[in-house]
């Protein structure tokens, strides 16, 4: 049996070495992958690129429908895609609004509220999906404009309330 001791130990050692090498390779691969990702090239920003195009193609007719004047001072806009909610610091913005209904008395749309600072003080890495309702059209500066906005969050909320009211006038 003693003459077989050597090769058997050798086999065990080979298996251990193989195990160590594979582990080291896996760890090294991941580490390399991570470091190369950190120094990554500039990635595309598809939504921003789309927004750049939209901005260039802006300028829709009002068709007599009530407009929205952002913070009461912005240019009147029908079916705005972006509405600023907190006008003092511009830290909360309703974005990506798609309007399901945009009538003369009220309008209903869904979108995402982007927040710079949440109630907890930390920045989140996602927006807050919400439903937006515009109502209370009034004649302002010769045009018809919605004066109130109701935001109803579908899931988590940035400030704690499920429903928030904003004055657009």
- Cα 162 to its chain centre, rounded Å, is 18
Q: Name the minimum Å distance from CB 22 to other proteins.
A: 6
For 44, 100, 118, the CA distances from 59, given in Å and listed in that order, are 27, 20, 33
Q: Six-digit token pair at 83?
A: 């509405």
Q: Name the minimum Å distance from CB 86 to other proteins.
A: 9
30 binds other proteins (CB under 8 A): yes
Q: Which residues of 77-107 are buried (b: 16+ CB within 10 A; e: fewer)?
A: bbbbbbbbbebeeeebbbebbebeebeeebb
Q: Name the minimum Å distance from CB 106 to other proteins.
A: 23
Question: Scanning residues 86 to 145, which ones bind other proteins (CB under 8 A)?
Answer: 90-91, 93, 95-96, 112, 114-116, 123-127
Contact 65, 80 (CB under 8 A): no
167 binds other proteins (CB under 8 A): no
Q: Name the minimum Å distance from CB 74 to other proteins.
A: 5
Side-chain-facing half-sphere of 137: CA atoms under 13 Å: 17
Going by the DSSP 8-state scheme, the letter that residue 70 receives in this structure is G
Q: Which is nearer to other proteins, 71 or 108 (CB)?
A: 71
Q: Which is nearer to other proteins, 76 or 136 (CB)?
A: 76
Q: Which residues bind other proteins (CB under 8 A)?
A: 15-16, 19, 22-23, 26-27, 29-30, 33-34, 37-52, 54-55, 58, 70-71, 73-75, 77, 81-82, 84, 90-91, 93, 95-96, 112, 114-116, 123-127
């Amino acid at each position: 049996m003693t003459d077989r001791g050597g090769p058997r130990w050798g086999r065990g050692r080979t298996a251990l070495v193989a195990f160590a090498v594979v582990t080291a390779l896996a760890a090294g691969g991941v580490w390399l992958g991570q470091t190369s990702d950190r120094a990554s090239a500039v990635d595309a920003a598809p939504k921003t690129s789309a927004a750049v195009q939209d901005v260039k193609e802006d300028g829709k007719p009002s068709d007599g429908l009530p407009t929205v004047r952002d913070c009461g001072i912005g240019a009147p806009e029908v079916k705005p895609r972006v509405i600023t909610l907190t006008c003092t610091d511009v830290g909360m913005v309703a974005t990506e609004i798609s309007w399901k209904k945009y009538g003369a008395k009220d309008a209903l749309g869904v979108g995402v509220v982007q927040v710079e600072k949440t109630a907890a003080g930390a920045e989140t890495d996602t927006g807050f999906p919400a439903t937006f309702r515009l109502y209370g059209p009034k004649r302002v500066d010769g045009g018809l404009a919605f004066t109130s906005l109701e935001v109803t969050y579908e899931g988590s909320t940035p400030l704690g309330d499920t429903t928030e009211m904003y004055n657009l006038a």
